[in-house]
């Protein structure tokens, strides 16, 4: 799964862990990317990789849930 948000383009950031003795080690911060079903601009439902900030802020439109119908059996 790609670690890039399809909406805002957020990707991993790199930097350093700096200890008290000022030793530097490389560190990577990955965004929280989720694969969600979303309605595209042309009305089709697609699975896209979206960060949780875009999900919470309402930048995507989720489709209606698929509901299964349970039929009661008659005897």
Strands, E, within the chain: which ranges? 13-18, 24-29, 33-39, 45-51
Sketch the domain layout of the chain as residue ranges: 1-75
Q: Which CATH number applies to 1-75?
A: 2.30.170.40
Q: How many CA atoms lie within 13 A of 60 on its CB side?
A: 27
Query: What pTM, to 2 d.p., does this model score?
Result: 0.71
* pLDDT score recorded for residue 17: 98
Whether 52 shows a pLDDT value over 80: the answer reads: yes
* pLDDT score recorded for residue 1: 58
Whether 2 shows a pLDDT value over 90: the answer reads: no
pLDDT tens digit string along 12-45? 999 999 999 999 999 999 999 999 999 988 989 9
In this prediction, residue 71 has a pLDDT band, given cuts at 50, 70 and 90, of confident
Pairwise CA distance, residues 2 & 63, whole Å? 22
* pLDDT score recorded for residue 72: 72
């Amino acid at each position: 799964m790609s670690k890039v948000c399809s909406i805002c383009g957020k990707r991993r950031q790199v930097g350093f862990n700096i200890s008290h003795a000022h030793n530097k080690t490389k560190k990577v911060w990955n965004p929280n990317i989720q694969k969600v079903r979303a309605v595209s601009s042309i009305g089709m439902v697609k699975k896209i990789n979206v960060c949780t900030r875009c999900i919470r802020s309402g930048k995507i439109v989720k489709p209606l849930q698929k509901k299964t119908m349970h039929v009661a059996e008659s005897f």
